[in-house]
Amino acid sequence: MHPPLADRLALEDLMVAYCYAVDALDDLDALLALFTADAELDFSAIGLPVLRGRTEMRRFYQGVFADMRHHTHCLTNFQVEQYRPERAVTRAYVHGLGIDRRGTAVEVHVRYRMECRLAPAGWRIARYWITPGMPLPGDLAAVHGDRY
Amino acid sequence: MHPPLADRLALEDLMVAYCYAVDALDDLDALLALFTADAELDFSAIGLPVLRGRTEMRRFYQGVFADMRHHTHCLTNFQVEQYRPERAVTRAYVHGLGIDRRGTAVEVHVRYRMECRLAPAGWRIARYWITPGMPLPGDLAAVHGDRY
Amino acid sequence: MHPPLADRLALEDLMVAYCYAVDALDDLDALLALFTADAELDFSAIGLPVLRGRTEMRRFYQGVFADMRHHTHCLTNFQVEQYRPERAVTRAYVHGLGIDRRGTAVEVHVRYRMECRLAPAGWRIARYWITPGMPLPGDLAAVHGDRY
């Protein structure tokens, strides 16, 4: 089933909004508001944790925001993979760059996949997976993973 | 003539679908299904062959899939250059990364241009050009071109 | 207020058209036609000038076109930040690459922000800011800034 154009663009906007929120590094509530309260985030394919629910998400991104000085996540190749009126699966490529507070730079090419649900206030992320696009540098866990 | 929004997005989806197919490296039929049977692919501006029709396409991409271990083609700056109801020309920028089975890495900035036709099952690629965006590294032919 | 889909896409097309125009390096009039006659361009956050009106814009981009041999500006994360029927603020991430006529290469990750106005012939850029996305290399002013 093809998504209506408004949903197609709203779903792309949601993934882009995540990039802005995770790159702003300063507003946890705005970031968490993009997710359902019971969202599950599975970063295990890139050596990072699985997070279930708002408390675990908050703790993880609090660590990310504390650790990173610069963040840039460039989204390309957005695609709606599955669509039903109140549930969609979307994916994209992401070129991610970061510099942490010690000055360590990291650069990755990964894939995002999101299962989204239509809530009264708009589309929200209910499940979110990151998988490698290109082989990951060894320093990814060094930058993001040291709290786990 | 401005494309209707549904066509504008379907044409972008088609070019993105090509990136997914060429990066999946495992499903030749899915890749070829994006093209018309008589499609012409002109990669001569980047030192690669001109391919005419499904047999030549299949042989070329079979070689690419056999040679490459990782592929990532990030599409940006999508634009509909010309539009008529059943024929459109589209273009975009592509940042391409690859690692072949010997471990040779290649990175390019190129431009895609596609002439697309509306078939009963949706838009298909009838002509496809790749031109350089930035100067190409010397190792592009070494990675993709050794069969020609 | 959410932009109608046609405006959302037209605004994205406008920013993409700017990338094509600044990367073509050969058609000042086409580039300037994307802006209102009284546009203000503020590049001060990346160490480049503030330009006001068509004469200053023309002189600046004439310099850029004369200096650069290759240009590639890849736009991602396009977002409509504010929208009213005849005025919108948009933003995006840009990965910019260039090689000047002396062979000096430059690569930046910046953010574009544009205030756009609906003119009879379509959306035009009235204000345009570039800010850093990642720390800028020292050679940016060396490439673009030597005329100021």
B113-134: pLDDT as tens digits: 999 999 999 999 999 999 999 9
CA distance linking residue A64 with residue A106, whole number of Å: 13
pLDDT at C139: 59
Q: Is the pLDDT of residue C111 over 80?
A: yes
Domain ranges for chain B, please list them: 5-144
Identify the weakest region by mean pLDDT among A136-140, B5-9, B103-107: A136-140
Chain C: which residues have CB within 8 Å of chain A? 5, 8, 74, 76-79, 93, 95, 109, 133-135
- Residue for token pair 């800011």: C129
Contact flag A20-C79 (C-beta cutoff 8 Å): yes
Q: Strand B35-42 vs strand B122-132: parallel, antiparallel, or unpaired?
A: parallel
For the segment B79-94, the average pLDDT, to the nearest whole number, is 97
Is residue C147 over pLDDT 50?
A: no
Q: Does residue C10 carry a pLDDT above 90?
A: yes
Average pLDDT (C98-126) is: 97
Q: How far apart are CA B53 and CA B55, in angstroms?
A: 6
pLDDT recorded at residue C143: 61
| Class in CATH terms, B5-144 | alpha beta
pLDDT band at B148 (very low <50, low <70, confident <90, very high): very low
Closest Cβ opposite residue A93 in set B5, B72, B99: B72
By Cβ distance, the residue of A78, A79, A134 closest to B97 is A134
Q: Which residue of C has its CA nearest to A68?
A: C134
pLDDT score recorded for residue B12: 98
Judged by CB atoms closer than 8 Å, whether chains meet at A74 and C77 is answered as yes
Q: Which among C95, C120, C98, C121 is positioned nearest to C108, based on CA atoms?
A: C95
CB contact under 8 A, B20 and A74: no
User: Which pLDDT does position A144 carry in this prediction?
Assistant: 63
Structure confidence at residue B47 (pLDDT): 94
Q: Residue type for A4, please?
A: P
Q: pLDDT confidence of C1, banded at 50, 70, 90?
A: confident
What is the secondary structure of A83-127 as a DSSP string?
EETTEEEEEEEEEEEEEETT--EEEEEEEEEEEEEEETTEEEEEE
Closest residue by Cα to residue C109 from C79, C130, C78, C139: C130
For residues C94 and C17, the answer to whether their CB atoms sit within 8 Å is: no
Confidence band of A1 (pLDDT split at 50, 70, 90): confident
Query: What global pTM score does this model have?
Result: 0.95
State the pLDDT confidence band at A138, using cuts at 50, 70 and 90: confident
